Amino acid sequence: MNLSSYQALKVERDNGILTITFNRPDTLNAVDDDMDKELSRVFIEAGHDPQTRVIILTGAGRAFSAGGDIEEMQKVIDEPQRFFDSMRRGKQIVFSMLDCQKPIIAKINGHAIGLGATLALYCDMSYAAVHAKIGDPHVAVGFVAGDGGAAIWPQLIGFAKAKEYLLTGDTLTAEHAEKIGLINYAVSADELDERVQEMATRLANGAAYAIQWTKASMNIVLKQAVTSVIDASLAYEALSNLTEDHQEAVNAFREKRKPVFKGR
């Protein structure tokens, strides 16, 4: 695995633990086209890397990931073909995380929003700093929650709670996310690195095949659930990309005001 081939992601390996860091701290690690392309291959390559036994996913600076990049949102409105390309990559990212037999731990060092939350929730274990907020506000920008959130949230917390959070776009505190089972642990910021490293080291020193194949076994049912949802949700998101409400949300974000939706 060529670690130096990544730029939007920072990829480092130490004692069998591969740390993948969203590396756009000046944008709160929003996912632009370059990062999207790197995410679509990094879990595939890590899964085949004989020197990697455990993966940690985290963010540089203050945030885990703020989700979609607002400038990229405008570009895909203007050039719908860009969205079709990102749909293919988005599906590949989700399934590459599910197919990667190496355990993936989310170290949620700051806010995980939208796509950022989706990526955190597809990890096998998740630790969040107590100050972090987690949420999927696709609807707040006139978007369908199509990047995998509509599949994973109900699997983790049930349909009633998942519908509440995905239809409103409300965020959760890390402590509340732990309480309802959305993440594994909410810990103090001072403890986060140590707690994640402790678990990563324990897994890296464990029986690799037993751990990997146990993950693969559990993910069979999860992949079936995701397969039943992902194509439709991505297609609906592509349709929502063409709506006036989505353009209004992008305009409002740029102009630092609340959007006025008209239902079209």
What is the reported pLDDT for 69? 84
Mapped to the 3 state alphabet, what secondary structure does 154-179 carry? HHHHCHHHHHHHHHHCCEEEHHHHHH
H-helix or E-strand spanning residue 247: helix 244-255
Give the Cα separation of 108 and 240 in Å (integer): 29
- Closest residue by Cα to residue 239 from 149, 143, 152: 143
pLDDT tens digits, the chain, 264 residues: what are they? 999 999 999 999 999 999 999 999 999 999 999 999 999 999 999 999 999 999 999 999 999 999 888 888 999 999 988 888 889 999 999 999 999 999 999 999 999 999 999 999 999 999 999 999 999 999 999 999 999 999 999 999 999 999 999 999 999 999 999 999 999 999 999 999 999 999 999 999 999 999 999 999 999 999 999 999 999 999 999 999 999 999 999 999 999 999 999 999
- 54-59, strands of its sheet edge to edge: 9-14, 17-22, 54-59, 104-108, 125-129, 185-187
- Ramachandran bin of 143, using left for φ above 0, alpha for ψ from -120 to 50, beta for the remaining angles: beta
The number of beta carbons lying within 10 Å of the beta carbon of residue 258 is: 10
All structural domains of the chain, each given as residue ranges with its CATH number in brackets, are 3-204 (3.90.226.10)
Query: For residue 94, which of 240, 226, 261 has the smallest C-alpha distance?
Result: 226
pLDDT in tens, 203-259: 999 999 999 999 999 999 999 999 999 999 999 999 999 999 999 999 999 999 999
The rounded distance, in Å, linking the Cα atoms of 68 and 113 is 9
Percent of the chain with pLDDT over 70: 100
202 three-state secondary structure: helix
Q: Measure the CA–CA gap between 18 and 234, rounded to whole angstroms.
A: 29
Are residues 67 and 30 in contact, defined by beta-carbon separation less than 8 angstroms?
yes
Question: Beta strands 104-108 and 185-187: pairing type?
Answer: unpaired
